[in-house]
Amino acid sequence: MHNDIAEVLFTEDEIARRVDEIGAQITRDYAEATDEGIVLVSVLRGAAIFMADLARRIELPVEMDYMAVSSYGDGAKSSGVVRILKDLASEIEGRHVVVAEDILDSGLTLKYLLKNLASRHPASLEVATLLRKKTLAQAKIECKYIGFECPDRFIVGYGLDYAERYRNLPYIGVLKPEMY
């Protein structure tokens, strides 16, 4: 798999340091806000690795929950139609919710998801994204916590995949064009 990577954008150590920083910031931001802790919500599958690492770095009670959504008609370009395939198991009304996202690309799915979650009346709703791509057509989404800004290239690793491969790479790299 490593030979399929053209360039490493973020090393395992860089990712770990940045996730530590985000976890510490979330701990500070919510330290006085709640006795219940926060609910971390991951969008499956890509963000699961980021959320697991982030949860271990937050020094507050954390409940983890997952959603599965689909918005890609042909797998390469967003259709703009979002479907919830798996909903939350937790009630979030009156709770502090942080959505842990692997990458903010077009933002269409996340925009829909945030509207859906906001309708459930959480005490607060924020986004922690590991990566934010620099794209012109990106939906306007406020991300309180951003790991890294990244170029608009085909990237894999640390949860990000191509055809369900490369998620287990410990770093984030650019996939060689001949691989896709």
- List the beta bridge partners of residue 149: 132
In the sheet that holds 5-10, the strands lie side by side as 5-10, 172-175, 155-156
Question: Residues with Cβ < 8 Å from 83, sequence gap 6 or more?
Answer: 69, 70, 71
Which one of the listed residues 87, 105, 152, 161 is annotated catalytic?
105
Give catalytic status of residue 74 as yes or no.
no
Structure tokens at 130: 């590991």
Structure tokens at 178: 């001949």
Instruction: Name the 3-class secondary structure at 136.
Output: coil
Q: What are the catalytic residues?
A: 105
